[in-house]
């Protein structure tokens, strides 16, 4: 499999998926089909009867007049009194209701200016709407993409309801300024169609070229390949999710001196000509298959013919590669060149059909980055369950309720084990889904054993040596037959009975381990119930050594069979709960206190709700304290609300009241005399954040109850699971770097404020040994191009820092440089004094032994000067790269941005940003505290990061800046900023903070008001978030806000020290 073994694509293509908005989960891959009817011919819609496209493009129609009116011909509109080709084309809507029908237009004439471009676009808008097209596909024949007017044209053409698409040939991608225009155009279009039919070598029509080559090899240059072009586009921030790869249904035929010695790039005897597939397949001669390019070559005499072979092992592999790398889709240059009449002996349109089938047979996929188990039972899954809406990154493991123990075995009759009814059909559907995802990103398959058996059955089987051995043999046989990755032992329906059960369960696990083959190990999991946990029926120390994971069934901490109200999965116990142990926190604490490793633990939640009928008529009492109330156990469950969809519907009723239960951090619904306990997006996020901080995994049960069709918001399938995926981070160890070395795997950038503070932060205690760089905040670029300090005191502090230079070894001392706040002054410097300004920067770096620079210029880089700034950035980097830094490492250059840059591509060259040491994202407000971290709000760190990743900046170049400062809100309304040390001075070391896992802060009441502060725990979460997204690292802005004196009793710099694990990696 040539292409599969050659995937050397930039890895950052796959890393933005976690932060992109999850939709309904349906395949988002597009198939573009071009209906460019030959001149003076009538279009027959039946030619498309066997193919389904997402985008049908009619054209191409010239738009060279100043008013943008398409120059339709008679066949387009009407012919001999009959419907024209456009009307016949649009009738395809009746069969392709979800497809978009685009008017394809081409412009050859240049735009006189931007006003001309706007007028043409407005005329074009009016025309395509009059003809009832859904949108426009634009093709420029000329040098339009070298001019700003092309950006204005596409921007004007964009409407609130429809983004246009634009086509560009591979040949144009490598031309000057074109790539920059495409970068600016990208945000205004739905797709950029990369037409591979014309590559740079085709500039000379005498040069022999192959068709749609994916990788450079031998005589095929990088610029002529799909990989080369998409890499070039990605460098400028045009990412795969925007690109449609345009393939050729047609081929090339050349007259050559020797058909046996010809290669791509050599000269032919005559100009090459296009050949349709229906003609290529009928070409006489010897037919060869080129394994390197996956093309079919036909040779006869001097004729050398090259075309795509529409089979799974040729063109199919190219399409698979495109889909595997998460491109938006594929297209072909013309349906009329793809054997529309089936003359080659196969079905009509073979390339289009192959693409359609490949798209339907694959799903966008990425790996699950954290331990997240998804439970599925055969009785829950019907024929309509939408497996294709289940994204591969949702689940690290799929647990299938697979094997039952025979209830009658204890009486000496029946089989020891039987498969659950319907499990074989379930596994067929599951394996079909896993094949679509691909083996690389497919979740592990785990077979669950005995979840529905009573304890008497379990006790009899595992207590009998012979039966236990037989059970182990059966388990291993089924794991082998189903090609499963592991097994879960689930003695959970009832509690274990005595200590003998504890011993026998361990014997079962040890015997499973003894059956394992060293080169084919399976995962062994144990499901643990709350009842057996608190009865001490698990040998926790031994389990820690013998199993891969213990799944705590924290989704069953309460049942509607109990005569009191409660919740199945409260994070913490409320005072009114009858059993204070029945909380997630207490169950986890029980296991970890007895030596269970956190990395071997997972907590569970359920997408399903439970309903209870309370007896008390006092609605106010129930609202105030919903748990611990007397409930009826004699009730019918016919009206019970169980699924997320039913919950949504209930919340819309006037009789339903939604309550959030503090402390437990769970929602309930009060409806008449019913209490409905369930999970929602908020509680799922709280638990995901809590589990992430604790370093444990998660599991979700009753998956079909999680609104799999996205009915609640008409968009998001599996909303609870989606929320877990979005907010759960992974427990991964960050090894402390060696500050005596130049290179580091994870950046820890520590900002140091030159401003004076109380108590005084002495430069001698700057924690350089725990930082990869110390960023000195902040020098300023004045209107004359000089680098200045805010005052003499700050200058003296900076001089004192230079005395640490020898001790800091390779830890960088970085100059943070503000470009000021006056756009006009900064523009004047860029235009008139760029070189002298750069010289001043370099001089200041030498004077203070700075080994790098962090530019803080966002306020003054605008549309009027962004091109000059990009030149300034490039020139400064070239100068820094040409000399060694003061610490004998390479000089570094980085740049800082905030949430205010909403469209990075419009101002900055992404390729240049990806060459910097890093890009610092600082989502810190004027009070120096972090803004909202998670959430859909445009200013949340999650969304800010998403914008930069989508823009094309590599995750490995992004550093997230985090603030350790706290906020004190006084009773009189005044707000002030506190350091961690000042927080402890205000409330004492033993103050109990209320943790807010939504806003990632902790709050505590104070005599003068309320203090909200980040903690070591919330920092750990944010660091885990950066690690999950494979970012370059984190920045602490600034260490002055940490407890640098150690007054809080945890030693100095507790926030900074939390970056690294205490135990060894």
Residues labelled catalytic: 858
User: Which pair of tokens denotes residue 288?
Assistant: 């060869």
How distant, in Å, are the alpha carbons of 216, 317, 651, 797 from that of 225?
6, 15, 54, 55
Give the helix ranges, DSSP H, for 893-957.
910-913, 941-951
Decide the pairing of beta strands 1001-1006 and 994-996. Answer: antiparallel
Distance of CA 617 to the CA centre of its chain: 48
| Tokens coding 301 | 């005499």
Q: How many CB atoms lie within 10 A of CB 341?
A: 10
Over its C-alpha atoms, the chain yields an Rg (Å, rounded) of 33
8 Å CB contact between 598 and 696 = yes
CA 633 to CA 1016: how far, in whole Å? 44
Helix (H, G, I), strand (E, B) or coil at 581: coil
How many CB atoms are located within 10 Å of the residue 215 CB? 19
State the Cα–Cα distance between residues 275 and 337, nearest whole angstrom. 8
Please report, for residues 311, 565, 727, 782, the alpha-carbon distance to residue 3 in angstroms, rounded to integers and kept in the order given.
Answer: 15, 58, 34, 54
In whole angstroms, what separates CA 701 from the centre of its chain?
Answer: 23
Distance of alpha carbon 448 from alpha carbon 433, whole angstroms:
20
Element (H, E) at 329: strand 329-332
- CB 77, CB 86: distance < 8 Å: yes
DSSP category for residue 614:
E
Contacts (Cβ under 8 Å, ≥6 apart) of 345 = 281
C-alpha to C-alpha distance for 873 and 860, rounded to whole angstroms: 14
DSSP annotation of 59: E
Q: Sign (positive/negative) of CA torsion 1052, 1054, 1058, 1061?
A: positive
CB 753 within 8 Å of CB 777: yes
Distance CA 940, CA 708 (A): 27
DSSP 82-141: EE-HHHHHHGGGGT-TT-EEEEEEEE-SPPSSHHHHHHHHHHHHHHHHHTT-SEEEEEE-
Beta strand 444-449 with 486-489: parallel, antiparallel or unpaired? parallel
Rounded to 10 degrees, the C-alpha dihedral 139/140/146/149 comes to -90
Nearest to 194 by CA among 149, 237, 225, 159: 225
Identify the sign of the CA torsion 1005, 1006, 1009, 1012: negative
Bond into 52 cis (ω within 30)? no
Beta-strand ranges (E) seen in 648-760 are 656-661, 666-671, 674-677, 697-701, 747-753
Which residue reads 């040939």 in tokens? 169
Identify the DSSP state of 517.
Answer: B
Edge-to-edge strand order for the sheet containing 295-300? 273-275, 251-255, 303-308, 295-300, 286-290
**Among 796, 769, 817, 744, which Cα is nearest to 1033's?**
744
Q: Do you know the residue count of the chain?
A: 1065
Residue 112 CA, chain-centre distance (Å), reads: 42
Using CA atoms of 792, 795, 801, 803 in order, give the dihedral in degrees to the nearest 10: -80
């Amino acid at each position: 499999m040539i292409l599969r073994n050659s995937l050397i694509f930039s890895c950052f293509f796959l890393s933005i998926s976690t932060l992109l908005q999850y939709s309904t989960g349906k395949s988002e891959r597009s198939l573009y089909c071009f209906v460019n009817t030959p001149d003076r011919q009538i279009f027959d819609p039946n030619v498309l009867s066997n193919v389904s496209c997402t985008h049908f493009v009619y054209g191409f129609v010239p738009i060279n007049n100043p008013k943008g009116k398409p120059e339709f011909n008679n066949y387009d509109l009407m012919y001999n009194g009959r419907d024209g080709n456009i009307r016949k084309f649009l009738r395809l809507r009746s069969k392709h209701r979800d497809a978009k029908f685009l008017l394809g237009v081409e412009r050859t004439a240049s735009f006189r200016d931007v006003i001309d471009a706007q007028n043409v676009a407005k005329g074009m808008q009016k025309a395509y709407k009059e003809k009832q097209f859904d949108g426009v596909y634009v093709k420029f024949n000329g040098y339009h993409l070298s001019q700003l007017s092309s950006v204005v044209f596409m921007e004007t053409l964009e409407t609130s309801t429809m983004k246009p698409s634009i086509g560009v040939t591979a040949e144009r991608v490598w031309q000057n300024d074109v790539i920059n225009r495409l970068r600016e155009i990208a945000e205004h279009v739905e797709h950029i169609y990369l037409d591979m039919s014309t590559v740079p070598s085709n500039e000379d029509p005498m040069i022999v070229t192959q068709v749609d080559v994916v990788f450079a090899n031998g005589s095929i240059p990088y610029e002529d390949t799909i990989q080369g072009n998409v890499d070039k586009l990605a460098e400028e921030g045009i990412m795969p999710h925007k690109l449609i790869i345009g393939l050729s249904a047609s081929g090339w035929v050349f007259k050559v001196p020797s058909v046996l010695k010809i290669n791509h790039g050599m000269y032919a005897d005559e100009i090459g000509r296009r050949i349709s597939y229906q003609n290529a397949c009928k070409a006489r001669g010897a037919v060869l298959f080129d394994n390197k390019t996956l093309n079919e070559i036909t040779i006869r005499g001097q004729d050398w013919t090259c075309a795509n072979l529409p089979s799974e092992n040729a063109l199919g592999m190219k399409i698979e590669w495109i889909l595997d790398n998460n491109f938006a889709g594929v297209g072909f240059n013309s349906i009329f060149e793809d054997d529309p009449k089936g003359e080659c002996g196969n079905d009509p349109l073979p390339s289009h059909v192959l693409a359609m089938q490949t798209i339907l047979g694959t799903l966008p996929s990425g790996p699950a980055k954290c331990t997240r188990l998804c439970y599925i039972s055969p009785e829950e899954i019907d024929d309509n369950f939408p497996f294709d809406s289940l994204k591969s990154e949702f689940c690290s493991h799929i647990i299938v309720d697979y094997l039952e123990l025979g209830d009658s075995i204890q009486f000496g009759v029946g089989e020891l084990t039987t498969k659950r009814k319907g499990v074989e059909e379930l596994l067929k559907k599951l394996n079909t889904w896993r094949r679509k995802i691909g083996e690389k990103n497919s979740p592990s398959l785990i077979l669950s054993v005995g979840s529905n058996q009573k304890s008497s059955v379990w006790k009899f089987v595992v207590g009998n040596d012979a039966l236990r051995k037989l059970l182990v043999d059966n388990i291993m046989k089924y794991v082998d037959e189903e090609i499963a990755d592991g097994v879960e032992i689930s003695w959970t329906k009832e509690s274990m009975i005595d200590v003998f059960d504890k011993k026998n369960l361990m014997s079962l696990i040890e015997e499973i381990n003894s059956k394992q083959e060293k080169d084919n190990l399976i995962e062994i999991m144990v499901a643990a119930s709350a009842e057996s946990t608190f009865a001490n029926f698990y040998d926790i120390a031994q389990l820690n050594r013998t199993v891969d994971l213990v799944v705590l069934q924290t989704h069953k901490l309460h049942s509607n069979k109990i005569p009191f109200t409660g919740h199945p999965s409260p994070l913490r116990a409320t005072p009114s709960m009858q059993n204070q142990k029945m909380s997630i926190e207490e169950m986890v604490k029980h296991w970890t206190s007895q030596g269970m490793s956190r990395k071997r633990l997972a907590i569970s939640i359920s997408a399903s709700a439970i309903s209870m009928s309370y007896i008390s008529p006092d609605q106010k009492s129930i609202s105030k304290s919903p748990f611990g109330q007397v409930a009826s156990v004699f009730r019918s469950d016919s009206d019970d609300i169980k699924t997320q969809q039913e919950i949504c519907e209930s919340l819309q009723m006037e009789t339903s009241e939604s309550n959030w239960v503090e402390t437990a951090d769970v929602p309930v619904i009060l409806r008449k005399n019913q209490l409905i306990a369930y999970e929602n997006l908020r509680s799922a996020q709280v638990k995901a954040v809590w589990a992430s901080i604790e370093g444990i995994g998660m599991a979700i049960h009753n998956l079909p109850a999680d609104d799999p069709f996205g009915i609640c918001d008409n968009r998001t399938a599996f909303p609870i699971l989606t929320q877990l995926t979005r907010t759960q981070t992974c427990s991964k160890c960050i090894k402390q770097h060696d500050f005596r070395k130049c290179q580091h795997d994870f950046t820890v950038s520590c900002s140091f404020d030159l401003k004076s503070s109380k108590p005084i932060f002495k430069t001698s205690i700057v924690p350089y040994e725990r930082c990869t760089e110390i960023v000195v905040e902040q020098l300023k670029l004045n209107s004359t191009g000089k680098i200045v300090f805010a005052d003499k005191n700050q200058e003296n502090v900076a001089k004192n820092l230079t005395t640490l230079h020898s001790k800091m070894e390779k830890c960088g001392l970085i100059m943070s440089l503000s470009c000021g706040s006056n756009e006009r002054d900064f523009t004047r410097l860029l235009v008139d004094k760029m070189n002298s300004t750069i010289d001043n920067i370099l001089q200041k770096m030498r004077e203070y032994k700075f080994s790098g620079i962090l530019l803080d210029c966002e306020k003054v880089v605008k549309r009027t000067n962004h091109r000059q700034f990009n030149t300034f950035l490039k020139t400064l980097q070239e100068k820094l790269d040409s000399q060694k830094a003061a610490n004998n490492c390479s000089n570094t250059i980085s740049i800082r941005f905030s949430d205010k840059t909403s469209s990075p591509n419009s101002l900055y060259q992404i390729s240049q940003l990806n060459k910097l040491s890093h890009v610092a994202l600082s989502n810190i407000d004027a009070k120096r505290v972090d803004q909202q971290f998670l959430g859909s709000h445009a200013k949340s760190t999650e969304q800010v990061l998403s914008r930069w990743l989508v823009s094309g900046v590599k995750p490995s170049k992004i550093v997230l800046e985090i603030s350790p400062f706290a906020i004190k809100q006084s009773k009189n309304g005044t707000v002030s900023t506190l350091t961690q040390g000042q927080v402890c001075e205000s409330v004492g070391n033993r103050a109990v903070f209320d943790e807010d896992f939504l806003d990632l802060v902790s709050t505590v009441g104070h005599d003068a008001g309320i203090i909200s502060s980040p903690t070591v725990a919330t920092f750990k979460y944010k660091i885990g978030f950066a690690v999950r997204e494979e970012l370059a690292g984190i920045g602490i802005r600034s260490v002055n806000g940490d407890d640098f004196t150690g007054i809080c009793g945890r030693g100095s710099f507790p926030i900074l020290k939390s970056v690294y694990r205490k135990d060894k990696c």
